[in-house]
């Protein structure tokens, strides 16, 4: 529970930074501008928007929702349908990350370190959710210990 909440908060923090960077057009910190690693090239490319909405803003909105879904208070509710919502939301995040990685590698031909941080956090969050859900399901199927 706490690890997923910490990851959601980390994703939110990086997403806030990327959204501020997008709208304020500041140079991203600690991201060199060379051929392979170039945050500015990535964050200003045609792939930095989806249907006119900045991807950074979509990430921010996604992580606001994830912070709520993964908050300890929501976990404690015990609502089984929320477990499904968390898993589907985390899976949707990973699916979108695959698209973004594809765009970086094959269309933009540059990597954004800040974006990669969000990608890693999203994958980690998905892994924690899936592993946690598998452990809970195993405990339910095992039944009470004798």
pLDDT at position 125 is 97
CATH of the domain at 79: 1.20.1440.130
Q: Is residue 144 part of a domain?
A: no
Q: Is residue 100 part of a domain?
A: yes
Residue with tokens 């950074």: 56
User: Going by C-beta distance under 8 Å and a sequence separation of 6 or more, which residues neighbour residue 86?
Assistant: 4, 69, 70, 129
Domains of the chain: total: 1
| Domain ranges, residue 8 | 2-25+35-139
More confident position, 133 or 58: 58
Instruction: State the average pLDDT over residues 125-142.
Output: 81
Q: Is residue 145 part of a domain?
A: no
Distance CA 119, CA 87 (A): 16
**Under the phi-then-psi rule, with left for phi > 0, alpha for psi from -120 to 50, and beta for the rest, what region is 137?**
alpha
Give the residue from 95, 136, 114 showing the smallest Cα distance to 48.
114
pLDDT at 47 over 90: yes
Q: Is residue 77 part of a domain?
A: yes
Q: Is residue 146 part of a domain?
A: no
Q: The pTM is what?
A: 0.88
Distance CA 45, CA 139 (A): 47
**Tokens encoding 121:** 């956090």
SS3 51: coil
pLDDT at 146 over 60: no
């Amino acid at each position: 529970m706490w690890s997923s909440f910490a990851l959601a908060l980390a994703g939110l923090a990086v997403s806030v930074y990327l959204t501020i960077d997008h709208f304020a057009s500041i140079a991203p910190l600690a991201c060199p501008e060379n051929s392979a690693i170039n945050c500015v090239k990535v964050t200003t490319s045609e792939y930095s928007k989806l249907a006119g909405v900045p991807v950074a803003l979509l990430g921010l909105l996604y992580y606001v929702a994830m912070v709520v879904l993964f908050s300890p208070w929501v976990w404690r509710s015990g609502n089984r349908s929320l477990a499904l919502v968390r898993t589907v939301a985390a899976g949707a995040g990973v699916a979108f990350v695959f698209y973004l990685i594809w765009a970086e590698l094959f269309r933009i031909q540059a990597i954004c370190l800040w974006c990669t941080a969000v990608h890693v956090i999203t994958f980690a969050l998905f892994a924690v959710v899936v592993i946690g859900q598998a452990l809970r399901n195993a405990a339910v199927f095992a039944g009470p210990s004798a």
